[in-house]
Structure 1
Amino acid sequence: MGNQFSSIQSNLAQLKNFYQGPIVSQFNDEIPVYRGSEKIKNAYTGQQVIRPLKVRRNPGIGATSDGGILPAIGRQTTVQAIIAAKYNYLRFGVTGPMIKASQNDTGAFVRAAAYELEEGYKDLKSDVNRQLSWDGSGWLARVSANAVATPVITIAGREAVEAPDKFLDVGLTVDIVTTAGTVVASAVDILSITGTGSTRTVTLSGPVTAAAGTYLIRTGSAGQEINGLLTQLDGLTTTVFNVDRSLFPSARGNVVDLGAGQLTLDAMQQAWNLGLQRGGAKYSAIFTDFDSLRYYQKLLTADKRYSNTVKGDGGFAAKDQFYLDFNGIPVVPDKDCPQRMFFLPWDAFKAYMLAELEFADETGSMYIAQVAADQLEVRVRLFMNLFNEKASASAALRNYLSP
């Protein structure tokens, strides 16, 4: 018999596997706007929040001659903004055997329930962060071509400049909804996402019929999400929070549209000045997307300005973090922001909280026992909405290209 050397392959039964923990998330969990909202939260109880706003000055003012006719008597014009909570939930389930099997380090990398809760908090906050920069519609992506009774559709981003799959993932359950809020397909699962560039091909769990221009939304979330920054900085004159912006221009935010032109420092200053001029803004930060941050950096590079950084972020993140600055305030990038530059006086915003990351524990436990099996549900609530008390002191810059 020839030489027989002991090798890894021949002695697998003698060797152990080396398990290296902890579990590493592959996602960006930075949530600047959510973090900022935690600093402006206001707890309340009851049905909704009523916030009075002055929307017109007293017109009973004017000059006249000696003994002349006095100005007509005027009065202040006020309206009541109505802010209702939006209801976000985190749900997960664990079986009794899994809780026992993962109760120590010998049996598991993590305790099953604790891990689901810790990571679930991150997932919920990340999705709320997305909502905080949008308008409450719930749009995640847009159907880009008519689909007739097929499970395969093509999609684009919510806006042309946005990646189609920025907010989508395999396993997500979605509705397809028109801009008017009509659901044309309900509760279909995303099975696969393929393709590159400005469109993607999505395979769903069932056939759908949907026109180009309809939107994919988390199932049941159409019109139910938090009214984020875009709600009052959309450039429209619709009624929001019970305030008719067509009647009261003073309640409109400032929007500068560059008409697909190049981003310039002058355009940024124009948006900045509007908030100062109309609302007396005291800006805290400029909130933007990563592409826009790159565009701004190109403007600075062309001007040979390499040292304009500022410590802190106006309340959006860690105080020892450095950001590019504009007029002395930080330019804060966020993974969820649409292609905008939001000029924000953070003290003008209120995050009204009806329930802040609390367990549905009315039974006395965070675990909700299921009836027919040894299974336990954990349910976490976050009931809140965001309101800009002085939209005239905020500004948004949009529709621009790289310089």
Structure 2
Amino acid sequence: MPIKTEIITIGDEILQGQIVDSNSAWIAQQLLLLNIAVVHIATVADREDAIIDAFEQAKQRADIILVTGGLGPTKDDITKRTAANYFGTNLVRDELVLEHVRGIFAQRKRAMPAINQMQADVFQNGEVLFNELGTAPGLWYTHEDKSFVFMPGVPYEMKHIMSQHVLPKLASVADQGHIVNIYILTAGIGESHLAESIQDIEADMPDYIRIAYLPKLGMVRLRLTGVSNDAEALRAEMQVFANNIKARTNEYFVTFGDVDLEGAILPLMHSKNYTLATAESCTGGTIASRITAIPGAGHVFKGSVVSYTNEIKQKMLSVSKHDLEMYGAVSEQVVSAMATGALKSFDVDFALATSGFAGPDGGTKDTPVGTIWIALATKTTVITRLFHFQNDRNINIERTSTQCFLLLWQELRNLGC
């Protein structure tokens, strides 16, 4: 029988929207690599009745229940105590864990509050999953033939315990065949049009190969997923379908791989020894941030100017006062000058520039909120694009950034890259 898992995150701060539950997404991704199904994900409050109810429901659906959060030393961290009562077991102090907790405080040259001794309390007859990175250990407890795994809510501590202890243990018992993923990145085509264009290829896929559409603003990532005991043969079979999709999508195909547009562009530019800079106004450094988030970006990216005022546009990018007064900051003339100025200042092969009213205010009657100009300067030309978005600031910034990468990608294609 296939192993079924459920993920439970505990914490009022998640339910109130103060933090985003990134733990569940990461755990689910790791389980997918082992071909272990996640049948349910739940978030519950720091209340005993809510936690017990979640445990009861999870037992009906899953074989392994992965729980994060509520393992700290303060009064609102009730997960461990509630679980012990639910299992009908006791909490006992583990001297090795206590020694580790004391060592962490000593290393930081801080006195350990007495309350932190409770971090070393573990389930009697349970398994301790040692946490080398923090004070709260992970715990594994079997109750009525169901395995409950408890981990801290702190993401880097949870990931450490999952990677070092939980995933190896699950891999040893799963034995559910190899799972193979192939990713295909497309840009400039919508999800529905993409699906329509490859519907016959999708229809020809066998039942053990599935396709998922993962859209983002301006791009769609396809994920082909297959399961087999022969991973090499499966990958070869899946690659045939992937190559057919590449041929069919043609001008919209970007690359194979689980990357965003900028993640595909930078390695290509590096291979051609091309360099890049940005001059950003309405995007406020978002493009530069997306670029520098990619390892090895320094091989291509030389820098950015966030020219949020006309003064900086003039001083740092050599935009003329005449153009600013005659056409306004949000204009084709000014964004072209920004891109050209960045190209010269940074001495690069390509420069991207943005200027617009991202919202929710700042527009005029003739140039309303959502009006965005972008430009790409090369050593021989300047290409501009005008967009009319809505008044959602965050979405407008994301759309603008993606359109800049798409413009750069299209120009690289035109150059034969």
Structure showing the higher helix proportion among its residues: 2
Structure having greater relative contact order (Cα 8 Å, sep ≥ 6): 1
Same fold, judged at TM 0.5 (above)? no
Q: TM-score, normalised by structure 1?
A: 0.23
